[in-house]
Structures are given as structure tokens and as C-alpha cells.
């Protein structure tokens, strides 16, 4: 990559398919060698991974406000955006288990004095076609607060 003082139409026409001119971060004009096309076709597993990546990125829009806010709060001060972390964790789960993980869309906390019950709205997606298999509500049952307080490490949902 090399810095360029200014990108002109003449430069672009002259270096077509040899030199790629673009604005780095929308500020700095730079040039690089034209990107090479991949010589070998994608393997079946790579094609499947591309599909899963697309499914996970589409489903980030379905996450409700409370859950999205929790993802955003957890990503503050970290380099990747919350969407990158979400998709990365989903891809790792898919790589190990060969299925898309259930996605938490929303949750509700019901307080039964003094112990809460957590209800989770989970969406299950078919990896092959990207269609929603089911949306189900799972309940933790009534949780004893003393059990939560006795745990020393951070609880991650």
C-alpha cells in the first residue's frame, strides 16, 4: 500500500486491473496492487461457513432492545463491535457442534418474593436453509438468590 497525493480519473483508467486506488478510512488516498482472484474453488465446508455467517449477521437485527443493550454494554472498551463478538461466538459454536446456536431474542424476569424466575425467548435456526425452526420460551424455574450470591465468578448468559 502506498500513499497517493490525489486520485484522478486518469490514474484510475491507466491502472485499471493492475492498481487499486481507494480512500483509506475515507480520508487518505492510497494505492495497492489489484486484488487477485482466488484460483481454487471454495470447498463445501467453506461455502457452508459463508452461509452460516450470513444467517448469523441477519439475525442480529432480531435481537430485542434489552438483550442488544447487554451486548453493547459488554463490548464497551473492547476492540470488536458487539456484532463481531456475536457472530464470532456463533461461528465457533457452529464449528464445534455443526449447528447454529439458539439465539436469545428477549428475556423477562419475574420476581416471586424474594426469588426471581427468568424466562428466555430463544430462536432456533436451521443451518442448511437458514429458516427459523422454532421460537420457544424456556424458563429457569424459581432461582434462589442465596445460590447466586454464593457463586464467586461472573455469570455470563
Q: What one-character DSSP code corresponds to residue 8?
A: -
Strands 19-24 and 132-142: unpaired
How far out from the chain centre does Cα 15 lie? 36
Q: What is the pLDDT of residues 124-157, one digit of tens each?
A: 988 777 778 888 888 887 777 777 777 766 656 5
pTM: predicted TM-score of the whole model, two decimal places: 0.66
Q: How many CB atoms lie within 10 A of CB 5?
A: 6
Cα–Cα distance measured from residue 15 to residue 12, given in angstroms and rounded to the nearest whole number: 5
Query: What is the pLDDT, as a whole number, of residue 96?
Result: 95
| Residue 115 near residue 127, CB atoms below 8 Å | no
The three cell numbers of residue 62 are 432480531
Amino acid at each position: 500500500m502506498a500513499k497517493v497525493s490525489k486520485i484522478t480519473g486518469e490514474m484510475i483508467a491507466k491502472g485499471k486491473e493492475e492498481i487499486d486506488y481507494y480512500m483509506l478510512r475515507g480520508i487518505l488516498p492510497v494505492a495497492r496492487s489489484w486484488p487477485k482472484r482466488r484460483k481454487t474453488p471454495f470447498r463445501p465446508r467453506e461455502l457452508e461457513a459463508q452461509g452460516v455467517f450470513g444467517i448469523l449477521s441477519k439475525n442480529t437485527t432480531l435481537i430485542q432492545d434489552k438483550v442488544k443493550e447487554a451486548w453493547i454494554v459488554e463490548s464497551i472498551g473492547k476492540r470488536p463491535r458487539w456484532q463481531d463478538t456475536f457472530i464470532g461466538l456463533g461461528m465457533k459454536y457452529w464449528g464445534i457442534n455443526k449447528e447454529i446456536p439458539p439465539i436469545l431474542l428477549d428475556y423477562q424476569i419475574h420476581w416471586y418474593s424474594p426469588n426471581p424466575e427468568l424466562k428466555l425467548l430463544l430462536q432456533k435456526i436451521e443451518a442448511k436453509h437458514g429458516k427459523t425452526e422454532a421460537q420457544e420460551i424456556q424458563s429457569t424455574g424459581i432461582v434462589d438468590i442465596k445460590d447466586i450470591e454464593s457463586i464467586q465468578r461472573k455469570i455470563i448468559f
